[in-house]
Each structure stands twice: as structure tokens, then as C-alpha cells.
Amino acid sequence: MAQDDHNSTDKNDRSREKAVPAGRIARIGAFGRLVGGVAGGMAAEGARRLSSGEPINPRDLILTPGNVKRLTDRLSHLRGAAMKMGQMISLDAGDFLPAELSEILARLRDQANFMPTKQLDTVLRSEWGNDWRRQFKWFNPRPIAAASIGQVHKAMTRDGEELAIKVQYPGIAKSIDSDVDNVMTLLKIAGFAPPELEVDKLLAVAKQQLHEEADYQREGEQMELYRRMLEGEPGFVVPRLHQGLTRGSILAMSFEEGVSIERLDQESDQRRDETMARLMRLVARELFEFGVMQTDPNFANYRYRRETGEIILLDFGACRPVDKDVANGYRKMLQAGLAGNRDKVIEATIEAGFMMPIVFEKHPERVNKMVDIVIGEMREDKPFDFGDRAFIPLLRDEGWEIAQDKETWAFPPVETLFVQRKVSGTALLGARLKAKVNIRRMTEETLRSTQPFPAKAA
């Protein structure tokens, strides 16, 4: 979670101050009330449609304005895995989601409640002891940011160090497995989780990632790892960990002043392009050099320092090692793409697990068309315009047609999902900023300056 303007709390807005249901029974009850409220809304809408002679569709019944509000409000109240999954699905699925579900998930990205002061004090006393206030000159009880797993407070230590302190909501870590299962149940009821998909694998991945993100000690270690890897690298700022105040559910770090990365849209074209190029190079280094990647490309995880043009990197809970075979698979695909060799691109794509062989066997013409579009874009020796997404509908149309064939449905290797999420999410930020970057030259430079990882032992 980041210190983001978009989620910043208003000192006069008490409506977003809501206690987090911490106990297992309380959270199950909250989900039960949500399901009951949605069911009641469905019954009312069904009766209305019957009386007026309108056709009845289960999806239309659940996605009434009233139910959309119920889902959004309740998931925002529960926070934790419930809210995080909504944010993850929204970012990953992009244009493929039904408009109504997109609306719910967009609200979950933007709407974050925060703990009342009394509940916050209970959490801090449990971690730091009853006299925790003695460690600070001041501690602002009103958070500067609130998100799915915790909220961030600004504070100053006795020796004058200004800190950002991330406090995890109570009960969140223990509720992850049940929350994920409950959210998937809701998606199944709404018809958004087709039975043909291997949902169990998706659930296992979501639970693993969320458990890792809820371990603030682990996140602190990952943050320090990035500080070391980027030490001396101009253009990046990574907060310093305050080890003495960090606990399993509290992460203390230096406060780094900056504004939302999306404010770059107010800067010059040159500044936007330079910043985006720097972020793209970072992704390439994570994939081909560092061997570790921060896999959550949420825009709030980046801040921008106007005075220096530096990018502040935040939220390292989603850091994970990059699978060497996946990195080498990306390398082969890029090399083949730069050479304009469609057959080699497809071969590398299948070998790395990005595409199942049956997809190409059954739909070779559509796959060839999609690969040709991508090769054409990446081989252009000129700045790639992220804001010009004219080719996206072409890819989407072909992909949609392939997706109608349920025999081709398969869950890709987990290792590829995390990397692809970061790559596509970074490209989405480029589109938001309407940045232009010479992708071909950057790719060639990256491949020249790095080597394939040694093959894993059989």
C-alpha cells in the first residue's frame, strides 16, 4: 500500500472511519449479511421484471445498482483479502470485464475506509506496548493513506526522524483463506467464475500472495533488498526500514515526500517519457538481472518527486523471485520478435508456458495474426506511443474468439502470471501517462547487457 493522494483521508470525513471486523465469526457474519442482502435485491428485481414482462437474466438480477453498492460497501468494510482480490482482478483483467463488475472493482480501488482511533490504539498497544506513545514526538492518528490490508500514518520519533508507519488491520492475516473462498463464491453466484477454469489453482495463488503481503517483516526485508540493488542508481528512491519499530503487522520506514505518479500527466512530454523509460528499464532489470520482481503494478506503489524527477518505490509485499525458466523464456521471445521470426516467437511462447500447445493447434491463423501484430509493434525503431492503443482491440478481438473455445482453457504456470501482471500493469501506466518510449532500442540494450540465467537442475 502506498502513500497515495488518491486514497488520502480527509480530516473532516468521518464517514470512512469504520472498525474492521477482526474475528472469524464477525467476518463470516458480514459475508452472510452481504449474501443475504444481494439475494434480497435479486428477489426484488426479479419480481419487478416479472411484473413488467421483462426477461430475467441471473447476471442482470445481481448487478442492480443496489447490489453494486452493497458489494462495494461491504467489501470495503471487510478490507483484507476481500478488497485486495477485487483490486487484483480489476487491474489484471482490464477491458475484458463486464462493465458492471468493472464499476464495482473501480470503486474498490478508490474507496478505502480506515480504523477508528480506538481500534488503532488497540493494535499499536498489542505490538508496541501500552506506553507506545513515548517513542514519538507526535503520531498522527488520522492515516495519510488507507487500502486493503493496512493503513499508513505519519509520525516523528524522539530523535526527529519522520516516518511512515503502515499498520495492518486486525484479523486480516488470519482471515485470508476464508475471505478468498468467500469472494470466489460471490463471483460464482454472479457468473464471473466459469466452471471450466481451474479456480482452485487461482485461489491457491491468491492466498499465497496475500499471506506474503500480510507479513510486514518480510516486506521490510524486501524493501531493504531493493535499496541495496538500486543503491547509487539515479532516479529512484526506496524508503529506509526502521527495524526497531517494525513488527509482523507494523512496517516502519522513512517518510518520502512525493505526489501520485499519475500527476506526471501535468509535466512536459519529455519528463513523462523519461520517467516511463526509467520504469520500463527497472522492469527489464528485475526480469533479466535482479532475479526478483515487485509484482504488484498498482499505480499507488509509485510516487513522483517533482523537484528532482525521482520515482519513489513503495509497497514491497508482492516481491517474489523470478523463475529462471520464465526469464529465459521472455528472453527467447524478445530475441525472436526482434528478428521478426514468428515461428520462433510461437515456439518460445509455448515452451515458456505462456500459451498452451492446443491453442496454436486449433487456432493457428488467429495466433499468427496476434504474433504478427506484436512483432510489428516491437520492431519499429521509433518511440512506441503507449497512448495509441489502436492495436489493442485487434489483439482483444482475436483473443476473444479463441477464448470462446473452452477446450483451450487452461491455467498458465503460476510463475508466468506474476511476471505478466507486472509487465502489462506497467504498460497500462504508460498508456495512462500517454508516454512514448523506444521499446526496440531498450530491449536490444537490455538483451546485450544481461545474460541468460543458468538452467535449473533437472
In this structure, what C-alpha cell is assigned to residue 169? 488491520
Q: What is the dihedral of CA 82, 87, 93, 97, to 10 degrees?
A: 70
How big is the CA angle at 54 (ends 50 and 60), to the nearest 5 degrees? 95
Whole-angstrom distance, CA of residue 302 vs CA of residue 315: 9
Closest CA to 273 of 117, 50, 152, 430: 430
* E strand or H helix at 432: helix 414-433
User: 250: closest CA among 108, 139, 158?
Assistant: 139
CA gap 287, 389 in Å, rounded: 24
Pairing of strands 310-313, 236-237: parallel
- CA–CA gap between residue 441 and residue 146 (Å, rounded): 39
Is residue 5 annotated as part of the catalytic site, yes or no? no
* CA-wise closest residue to 104 among 228, 192, 41: 192
Q: What is the CA radius of gyration of the chain?
A: 23
Buried b (16+ CB within 10 A) or exposed e, 387-403: eeeeeeeeebebeeebe
Specify the amino acid at residue 73: D
User: Do residues 3 and 260 lie in contact, with contact meaning Cβ atoms separated by under 8 Å?
Assistant: no
Active site residue: 4, 273, 296, 323, which one?
Answer: 296
Cell of 377: 509493434
Longest dimension (CA), the chain: 72
Using CA atoms, how far apart are residues 321 and 347, in angstroms rounded to an integer?
25
Cβ(147)–Cβ(300) under 8 Å? yes
How big is the CA angle at 312 (ends 309 and 314), to the nearest 5 degrees? 165
> Residue 330 is inside which H or E element, if any?
helix 324-338
Residues annotated catalytic, as ranges: 296
